[in-house]
Chains A and B, each alone.
Chain A
Amino acid sequence: MPKDHGIGASQKRREDVRFLTGRGRYTDDINLPGQAYVAFVRSQVAHGILKGVDTSAAEASPGVLRVFTGKDFEGVGGLPCGWQVTDRFGQPMQEPAHPVLAQGKVRHVGEIIAAVVAETYEQARDAAEKVVPDIEELPAVVDMRAALADDAPKVHDDLKNNLCYDWGFVEENREAVDEAIRNAPHVTTLELVNNRLVPNAMEPRVAIGDYNPGTDESTLYTTSQNPHVIRLLMGAFVLGIPEHKLRVVAPDVGGGFGSKIFHYAEEAFCTFAARQLKRPVKWTAQRWESFMSDAHGRDHVTKIELALDKEGNFLAVRTETLANLGAYLSTFAPSVPTWLHGTLMAGNYKTPLIYVNVKAVFTNTVPVDAYRGAGRPEATYQLERVIDKAARELGMDPIEIRRKNFITEFPYQTPVALVYDTGNYHCTMDKLIEIADLDGFEARRKASEEKGLLRGLGVNCYIEACGIAPSNLVGQLGARAGLYESATVRVNATGGVVVMTGAHSHGQGHETTFPQVIAEMIGIDESMVEIVHGDTANTPMGMGTYGSRSIAVGGAAMVRAAEKVIAKATKIAAHLMEAAPEDIELKGGEFIVKGTDKRIAWGDVCLAAYVPHNYPLEELEPGLEETAFYDPANFTFPAGAYACEVEVDPETGKVTIDRFAAADDFGNVINPMIVDGQVHGGLGQGIGQALLEGCVYDENGQLLTGSYMDYAMPRASNLPFFTVDHSCKTPCTHNPLGVKGCGEAGAIGSPPAVVNAVIDALHRAGHTHVTHIDMPLTPARVWQAIHG
């Protein structure tokens, strides 16, 4: 019988009721009395000298309260970067200033030149059209290789060049790797592009700044995955507002996928303008603004070489990557192509020698930062593609070559710094073969052939590192933030529990899963537990939700706080029952003196804590509320094996995903239904990257895919039902729940499966000249590859 309660139960989500009845409270649903609206004037050129901005006509436009330009922000800090990468020569990365409103230059289409605040949005928009920027256009730098040329125009005049950093990892391995590749019996080489993506959470970003002159307090309502991080960055580094005078609220948030981690100019602007105007100032992104102002994802160009012996044992991996950072450093941008990418290049395999080189480049494009998977999809894609190519070259089965190289003993120290605490890659591969019905492939292939379609099978593995930590280590790696998580567990006098977590739910279902853990620990019903998140005023300082960290780090913090609560409650129970605390156990919502029939209900103990008449006041404070900060000892390492079957129409090049199976090891699982849903969503995004999505700039830095008319989002009709399984469980060894995180797996593991499948289909049909096609595998590209 599946559980219906506590850890492991597929409980229905409590948050669904409000979302299904139109009672969610998203940021744009908030309207404050006296609210004004801002329309931003955004650069229409990618690169130019901003000689001046004529705001006079806009200022005279009806309803306008004030027009802001870069001049108004001269005394204000720039948007900070939260991670400093050190290059392979020991030097810090080049770190340009990142003004809130453009100062002196514009560096990408969409950069904010001016902001018009008016009584209504349409008035602000009307007036914004009357703002006249005086821009001397400069040649744009779009292509990364061109950006690194000696004579390339510089995105930032005060930097040496457009190279943010040249990172080598592990630098000490460089020569050994070179030598291994020189001497290897076989080297497979692949050059590929990891296509630039636009995150496209369905809720566009919104910011509302509010200011109370009576108390000198500012409040920002924003679509954020991490309100405390925004409070810290914006308060301390941009606007100089002390944290106790600044509240950041991220209410219901309509998806993030990384794009709502970062501190954006619009947030700082609305907070700043509200203080200036002493009125609330609201901005709601139009989707066209999202395309040119939300941080983009991926955008790597990579050459990977895999050295093997004749038996297919991996000897060495060497990669060279150009990573596009866009025009400015977004909050965590430098970490993505480095520590979140290079460290994953061992994959699931015992490759002894690995060297990763990454050159991160400034271009006149929207800043690029973490997007679902963040560095790990880029690592997985190149590795799993080159392995597939190598198997083909050596005439080996793609599954067997992987199995041959699997890491099987744990803990395992990779040559790229990580220590995998646990895993079982054969288990997920075995499970995949079963759930994907690989034995039935040949029959399905024949059926496709009869319809004139080419069926192919792509298989790959992935590993990811979640819950990035510990803080002291990431500090050494350049992080300018801690990566712990926090929770306060407050028990009310009548036994109900409120958990205030620093994690933030924007679709992950924390309001359902976190109570399942508390319910399991105490033995009470989930309905007695409430989760509070998303408001710096009533949650402890936390780092928020990204990188599949909520349950592994935030959940662990909650467990630690709950353990403290239970320890104290046990002492109270011991006092009430006149027993020793060590003789008492908490079971089914009751404290029981072991070996006796003496018991006292959870609620009675809680009441005693707040009505401490019969209470050991000399030893214990009244009340029952504890806070814990949890800083993990290591990452967690979810891993799995994925299989994709496609049908390719050889006449049109159209690829249809017919089947997709995912076998994952997430360690312990709190709510299997929600985990399935997380995997489904990741698969949708990964398949979207593989087949449909691609952000394209022209050579002048104009965004060609600036709306849903040209940027192809996956639709229901592009995807099949998925077959997912997470019954292989190797629990994480170092967090109290044994959990690993599941939010990004689907997006990390699926792109290579799709591409491998298409290449397989073409090879089976005799198109053996096609060794690679860059994503997205549009019909035109596939057709071109067949006929090219």
Chain B
Amino acid sequence: MYEFEFARPTSLAEALAALKAEDAQPLAGGQTLIPTLKQRLASPSVLVSLSAIEELKGVRREGDTLCIGAATTHAEVAREAAAHYPALAALAGGIGDPAVRNRGTIGGSLANNDPAACYPAAVLASGATVVTNAREIAADDFFQGLFTTALEEGEIITEVRFPIPQAANYQKFEQPASLFALVGVFVARFADGVRVAVTGASEEGVYRWESAEEALSKEFRPDALMGLRMNPANMIHDIHGTKEYRAHLVGVLTRRAVAAARG
């Protein structure tokens, strides 16, 4: 790692002030950032830890919305969201491994927007709202391609608000080395329709599979997807799977997610 200064503020206001320094960077759980720093692929002047800011932590329910503080770890979401939004809790409980889940946070994952991360699929399929220190960003506007989000310099996520669906399920097909999603599909059924979000598959990052949403909104059954085929053109091709394979998996996992969500 290159040398950097380290700050660990205890309030959001202090954190925002510290982040004003040139080349300052927030440190959430660090489960991606620290390996990146070790590879010397990033050189922040100051790392501003968000881990001591209590106001960014915790899971609370407001009516039909589950609000999760940005600095809440995956393990905490897995435990505390289980009674309210089981599919989301299950997703959180399947990220990485237990030690990673004890440090990694939802805010850190979303801000990083790894194209194979799990959380973006949940946020997009749920139509969640990403709340920052400055504004509220709809999920559909938040994700802007590989490792790119709507966040401005110095802007940090404070909370994510998930509308709780009637039924939902996340199916993850793991890339066997990294345990990230080779393909992951999150299906969420709301009163006004079904949303399907796919991670791991596309060169453009997490996306909604609209034709599947349309079909499932009419009829929420795996068979409703018969005949639908994901176009492989924009899929990722790497040593773990071809474009065609990923496109195929999107169909399989979506059907399985629907079947599982139906219970």
Contact = CB atoms under 8 A, between A and B. Distances in A.
A694 B240 CA distance: 10
B245 A710 contact: no
Interface residues of B, number: 18
A314 to B, nearest CB: 37
Interface in B4-43: 38-40
A129 B177 contact: no
B248 interface: yes
B242 A122 contact: no
B178 A780 contact: no
B177 A709 contact: yes
A713 B252 contact: no
Contact of A712 (B2, B176, B245, B248): B176
A784 B176 contact: no
Given A122-B1, A652-B249, A778-B240, A129 B40 contact: yes
A286 B40 CA distance: 13
B191 interface: no
Contacts of A718: 176
Interface string A687-727: 00000101010000000110011111100001000000000
A651 B173 CA distance: 12
B92 to A, nearest CB: 18
A217 interface: no
A783 interface: yes
Interface string B235-249: 000011110010011
Contacts of B173: 652, 654, 779
Contacts of A129: 40
Contacts of A778: 176, 240-241
A126 interface: yes
A512 to B, nearest CB: 31
B101 to A, nearest CB: 15
Interface in A264-306: 286, 288
Contacts of A713: 177
Interface in A622-676: 651-654
A780 B242 contact: yes
B239 A705 contact: yes
Contacts of B245: 653, 779-780, 783-784
B176 A709 contact: no
A128 B144 CA distance: 36
A711 B239 CA distance: 10
A692 B240 CA distance: 10
Interface string B204-239: 000000000000000000000000000000000001
Contacts of A712: 176-177
A755 to B, nearest CB: 17
A710 to B, nearest CB: 5
Interface in B185-202: none
A564 to B, nearest CB: 52
B177 A783 contact: no
A651 B245 CA distance: 11
Interface in A712-763: 712-713, 718
Contacts of A653: 245
Interface in B141-197: 173, 176-178
Given A288-B39, A652-B249, A780 B241 contact: yes
Contacts of A711: 177
B1 A709 contact: no
Contacts of A652: 173, 249, 252
B246 to A, nearest CB: 9
Contacts of B3: 122
Contacts of A708: 177-178
A696 B240 CA distance: 11
B252 A710 contact: no
Given A710-B178, A778-B176, A126 B252 contact: no
A652 B178 CA distance: 18
A686 B121 CA distance: 35
A784 B177 contact: no
Given A710-B178, A711-B177, A783-B248, A696 B239 contact: yes
Contact of A710 (B1, B177, B242): B177
Contacts of B2: 126
Contacts of A125: 40
Contact of B242 (A286, A692, A696, A784): A784
Nearest to B244: A784
Nearest to B179: A715
A269 to B, nearest CB: 22
A694 B248 CA distance: 23
A124 to B, nearest CB: 13
Contacts of A654: 173
Interface in A762-788: 778-780, 783-784
A43 to B, nearest CB: 17
Nearest to B180: A709
B6 to A, nearest CB: 15
A25 B177 CA distance: 30
Interface string A395-432: 00000000000000000000000000000000000000
Interface string A503-536: 0000000000000000000000000000000000
A738 to B, nearest CB: 41
B262 to A, nearest CB: 17
A784 B39 CA distance: 35
A473 B41 CA distance: 53
Nearest to B173: A652
Contacts of B39: 288
B176 A692 contact: yes
Contacts of B241: 778-780
Contacts of B239: 694, 696, 704-705, 710
Nearest to A787: B248
B95 to A, nearest CB: 15
A430 B241 CA distance: 40
Nearest to B178: A709
A653 B182 CA distance: 13
A705 B3 CA distance: 28
Contacts of A126: 2
Contacts of A704: 239
Nearest to A707: B177
A713 B241 CA distance: 17
Given A126-B2, A718-B176, A780 B40 contact: no
Nearest to A776: B176
A711 B240 CA distance: 10
A286 B38 CA distance: 10
A734 to B, nearest CB: 44
A711 B249 CA distance: 21
A701 to B, nearest CB: 15
Nearest to B176: A712
Most chain B CB atoms below 10 A, which of A286, A652, A654? A652
A654 B39 CA distance: 32
A708 B175 CA distance: 11
Nearest to A651: B252
A646 to B, nearest CB: 15
Contacts of B40: 125, 129
A464 B178 CA distance: 34
Most chain A CB atoms below 10 A, which of B1, B38, B40, B248? B248
Contacts of A779: 173, 241, 245
Interface of B: 1-3, 38-40, 173, 176-178, 239-242, 245, 248-249, 252
Interface of A: 122, 125-126, 129, 286, 288, 651-654, 692, 694, 696, 704-705, 708-713, 718, 778-780, 783-784
13 contacts: A286-B38, A651-B252, A692-B176, A692-B177, A705-B177, A708-B178, A710-B239, A711-B177, A779-B173, A779-B245, A780-B241, A780-B245, A784-B245
Sorted nearest first, the 6 A-B pairs with minimum C-beta distance are A712-B177, A712-B176, A780-B241, A709-B178, A780-B245, A651-B252
Given A652-B249, A708-B177, 12 more contacts: A126-B2, A653-B245, A692-B176, A694-B239, A704-B239, A705-B239, A710-B240, A712-B177, A778-B176, A778-B241, A779-B241, A784-B245
